[in-house]
Amino acid sequence: MRGFCRYDLGHAMDAKWLEVPDELVCGSVQRGIIAQRMIQRINLSEAAIRLNQYLETNLSASSSWFPNIDIVPVDRILDTISEEALFGLMSPDDVEDIVASKLQTEGWVLIKSTCFRSKPQFEFSMINNDGVTGLVQVKSGKGPSSLDPSEYSKYLCGGNKIYLFTTHPNPYKGERVENIHCLTKGEVVDWMKKHCKLLTQTVKLKLTLQNG
């Protein structure tokens, strides 16, 4: 321990290192390692723990292992998994993709050039057959705060619409604002259940592995 202190390493433990493909890393872990604190506890749901144990078993046996997607159990898993566990499995990109896909099945077309993280106000823009622009903001994780629709009202102009979605336990605060639509987790999960084949490969993989 003296050696660790000499090099200013006050926290150390034995660890087993495995290289996990990006698309298989659960959202809770991804969000945990981008936090500002160097060392912190990452709270995982039973579903996330089950995923990690399955990955450890198979990647320990073969570093080149990669699962096959079985669409059959996805329906069943979506019917039984809790909302908190489901969104904990999904990465921030997974959640954004789900919201984008949902809106596209409802008549919106994604404007690809707007999908840049350098535009922090919104994740991306969309347009529909009436020429209306839709601005979309998606937040996943439990912090730092809920979304307040009133803070986005200044972006309403020219008849456009705004869509907000957050996985925060208390998602929205303040008054409702016309043309600002606050999507609920229930709405998004219902869409996933009805459109399993439209889910991204990463989401299908994480759900398939819940079946062992």
Residue 191 near residue 102, CB atoms below 8 Å:
yes
Tell me if 29 is assigned to some domain.
no
Number of domains in the chain: 1
| Strand extents, DSSP E, the chain | 109-111, 124-127, 133-139, 161-166, 180-183
Contacts of 61 (CB under 8 A, 6+ apart): none
Task: Please tell me the predicted confidence (pLDDT) of residue 180.
Answer: 97
Tell me if 162 is assigned to some domain.
yes
Q: Encode pLDDT of 132-152 as tens digits.
A: 999 999 998 666 568 999 999
Tell me if 134 is assigned to some domain.
yes
Percent over 70 (pLDDT), the chain: 85
Domain that holds residue 154: 92-200
Residue 13 near residue 75, CB atoms below 8 Å:
no
Q: What is the CATH number of the domain that holds 185?
A: 3.40.1350.10
pTM above 0.85, yes or no: no
Q: Encode pLDDT of 21-80 as tens digits.
A: 888 888 888 777 765 666 677 788 888 888 888 888 888 889 888 887 777 678 888 999
Tell me if 139 is assigned to some domain.
yes
pLDDT at 160 over 80: yes
Tell me if 128 is assigned to some domain.
yes
Tell me if 165 is assigned to some domain.
yes
